[in-house]
A and B are shown apart, each in its own frame.
Chain A
Amino acid sequence: QSALTQPPSVSGSPGQSVTISCTGTSSDVGSYNRVSWYQQPPGTVPKLLIYEVSNRPSGVPDRFSGSKSGNTASLTISGLQAEDESDYYCSSYASSSTLVFGGGTKLTVL
């Protein structure tokens, strides 16, 4: 069970869109629509952004969207704001009732 692969960092200017990828295998991301995304500003607790690939919990702005193609899931943040600067983590169900996280991506708003 290996960690999902995320880019260490991404950046974008206010108002732009950025996409964070989360690559797994056919044993996790590719086989199950059980991908979640979490936002973790520095020094704080992770917050659920997206579940089941593309569903947003109540209270999460629709600027945040999720998708999946094959073994890769993606989080897109549109209309980038300074407050979006944070670490982002993906997770996926990985068969045999286990869960795997990605290594995390640091988003910098320029």
Chain B
Amino acid sequence: QLQLQESGPGLVKPSETLSLTCTVSGGSISTTSYLWGWIRQPPGKGLEWIATIYYSGSTYYNPSLKSRVTISVDTSKNQFSLKLSSVTAADRAVYYCARQRGSGTWTFDYWGQGTLVTVSS
């Protein structure tokens, strides 16, 4: 059974960089059938797609966040990561990593449990 688990600091200071890692177990990240993505959800609000990466390193970003976001993959560790720079209180959210079906479906079929990141000094 595929599992995804987010990890990283739950508290980040304003203007600093948020860094999260998603560890994939029960399946290989190096597959041509899937991509891997990050989605966030501010408390009590809706979902927002952040970025997606293919195991080869091809990346896709939400235009509204692109200037601050970097997504990367480490196939040797079966992990992919997210960095969001210059965070503000508006970046407080539950951050989910998820598996995205390939073949252009742009749908997420497996999700991690999510991790709440708070921005505060």
A residues engaging B (CB < 8 A)?
A: 1, 3, 34, 36, 38, 45-48, 51-52, 57, 89, 91-93, 96-104
Contact = CB atoms under 8 A, between A and B. Distances in A.
Interface of B: 39, 45-49, 52, 60-64, 96, 101, 104-109, 111-114
Contacts of A34: 104-107
B63 A48 contact: no
Given A38-B108, A104-B47, 17 more contacts: A1-B62, A34-B107, A36-B107, A36-B108, A45-B96, A46-B108, A48-B108, A51-B107, A51-B109, A93-B106, A97-B52, A98-B49, A99-B52, A99-B62, A101-B49, A104-B45, A104-B46
Contact of A102 (B46, B64, B108, B111): B46
Contact of B111 (A3, A36, A46, A99): A46
